[in-house]
Structure 1
Amino acid sequence: MTRDISGQIAVVTGGAQGIGLAVLRKLVAAGARVASWDANAALNETVMAGEDALALPCDVSDFASVQAALDATVDRLGPPAILVNSAGIAGPNMPVADYPPEYWARIVAVNLTGTFHVNRAVVPGMHEAGYGRILNIASIAGKEGNPNACAYSASKAGVIGFTKSLGKELADMDIAVNCVTPAAARTPIFDQMSKAHIEYMLSKIPRQRFLEVEEAAEMILWTVSPANSFTTGAVFDLSGGRATY
């Protein structure tokens, strides 16, 4: 099966930095026409510009914002055949007994409800076309649970469950819905974490180093290509040996 995605329309949420930006660059290099949806409008505008690429402000926790970004994408580029959902926040590191409810609500709204919003928006077009590739970025924290990160761990576990559910819903079509569970990568999300939590995450990785965003992008590029013609509802490990299931 071919890995050729040239000319396909792709959406990357959280495409202005981190893993999302690395994926976006890989997609552009492979010939896709890409829309970056990111809440950081100023940073997003620096990503790219051109006839085959655009940057759009988008708050994934707000379905109206997601729908507006989709409408603009379809109008400028066409209906997306590829979605890489990378938008996410970490929140503070503290025990459940001290965790502010407003932080819990915000993290779940972005990481989990945002995943639903973005998938909900693009799936009808993929269903109509009879083809699509969706990759949701979860986390090793969603498999194992990191202490002092209850909202992040729970939200990413939810992304895994959501991906499995949607993958089974669409399994009788040529629409693949998968997710990856990265270990920590040194991206701007570290700015939201305590030094002790970052050291804890590194100590759990048998590779004894953080994930490189380009490594994540390489795996993700295959999952959203036509070559991934069979696997759906799956969770791909990117944990450096921390979790092997």
Structure 2
Amino acid sequence: MPFLKRISLDWSQLTPEDKEQFPYHIPTIQSFNEYKFESNVTFFIGNNGSGKSTLLEAIGVSCGFSVVGGKDLTISKEKDDVSLASIMRLSWLPRVKDGFFFRAETFDTFAGYIDELAKDPYVGQSAYAPYGGKSLNQQSHGQAFLTFLKNRLGGKGLYLLDEPESALSPQNQLAFLRMIWELEQLGQAQFIIATHSPILMAYPNAQILQFSETTIEPIAYEDTEHFTLTRDFLNHRERYFRALFEEEDN
């Protein structure tokens, strides 16, 4: 069963003026009060700008993780607005402190931070120990993603992942699903993953939360647009090509 049982937002802390500001004014965020986790693996899905990453970041900050990536708050970026965490409440049973936040968008910043840490004479090459023993920047983007995940998915913890598929081939997405499964079988991990990948969100018995234009609601895998559109495209791609590429009659 999941360690993090529930997340909720205490809207009473905000003034009406606050609620009109980012990130509180995002329609899906405004519709959110609380959610109870019932699975070790939960996916946040929805279009760009729907609020899924914003909610995931707030969970990460509430756990003490950096929104850039990693386990603690030693790395930050000025553009990140994490104020949503100030009204967020987390309910645990039991409380776990380990885990990390993986964010594809700022992975290069995180990898650069580790390189700078390795230059410290008191740290040196040991900075790379949790990441396969060498700089993440000395590997291809996809290899670096997979190396990070292979070496940091371990131990009892909460793992928050924002679009981990962005640099992974379909084959490596399947390898990533195996990593999730191995940890879940041991009862050692809970995952909350924001994704666009129909491969990842197919994980057995996962919960899927769809961020629409105005609400956040549970949805079955086969009912997601990611599944139906991908299946229809693969089965009828010529029809899509005609609609996309043929000139309309004047």
Short-chain TM bin: 0.3 to 0.5
Larger Rg: 2
The normalised TM-score by structure 2 is: 0.33
The normalised TM-score by structure 1 is: 0.34
Of the two structures, which has the highest relative contact order with CA contacts closer than 8 Å and spacing of 6 or more? Answer: 2
